[in-house]
């Protein structure tokens, strides 16, 4: 299952209650997959018909995105530290103005580029931690 969109944010909560936006997303891709185990057994109906039975085990999700980052030293340092320390960050990806996907994850990759105009671009990968939740606001 893949959702693509243009708007989203990556933030981190510092000192327990101060939310700091690390990245304003300009493009993203969310991917979710389910691992399965072979649950076939000899003498069962599935093996008599020649087909395997699969049982779902765990769900994994990840996100890849690009975005603009504030050029302040503290913001660049926060992204670097979050990656180096495997700090959980908050992800919110918008499908439209009232719905989207949110969850927590670890920055498993990032790449910075800086154009001549001073605009700092960031490409990143986020490994999901726990459940990713689809939300709708009224």
Does residue 35 or residue 112 have the better pLDDT?
35
Q: CA dist 89 to 94, 102, 103, 106, 127, Å?
A: 16, 11, 9, 6, 10
Place of tokens 């719905």: 99
pLDDT value of residue 4: 46
pLDDT per residue as tens digits for the range 52-111: 778 888 999 999 988 877 666 567 778 788 889 988 888 888 888 788 899 999 989 988
pLDDT value of residue 81: 85
Identify the band that residue 115 occupies on the pLDDT scale cut at 50, 70 and 90. Answer: confident
Residue 29: pLDDT over 80: yes
Assign domain 2-136 to its CATH architecture. Irregular (4.10)
d(CA 106, CA 37): 26
pTM of the model: 0.75
pLDDT value of residue 16: 62
User: For residue 72, how far is the Cα from the chain centroid?
Assistant: 24
Relative to beta strand 2-5, strand 18-38 is antiparallel
Which 8-state DSSP code applies to residue 32? E
Helix extents (H) in the chain: 45-49, 73-84
């Amino acid at each position: 299952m893949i959702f693509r969109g243009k708007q989203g944010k990556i933030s981190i909560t510092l000192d327990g209650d101060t939310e700091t936006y690390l990245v304003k997303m300009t493009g993203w891709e969310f991917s979710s997959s389910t691992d399965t185990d072979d649950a076939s057994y000899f003498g069962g109906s599935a093996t008599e018909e020649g087909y395997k039975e699969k049982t779902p085990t765990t769900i994994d999700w990840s996100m890849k995105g690009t975005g603009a980052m504030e050029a302040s030293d503290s913001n660049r340092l926060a992204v670097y530290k979050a990656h180096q320390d495997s700090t959980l960050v908050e992800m919110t990806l918008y499908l439209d103005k009232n719905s989207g996907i949110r969850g927590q994850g670890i920055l498993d990759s990032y790449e910075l580029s800086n154009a001549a105009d001073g605009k700092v671009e960031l490409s990143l990968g986020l490994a999901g931690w726990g459940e990713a939740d689809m939300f709708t606001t009224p």
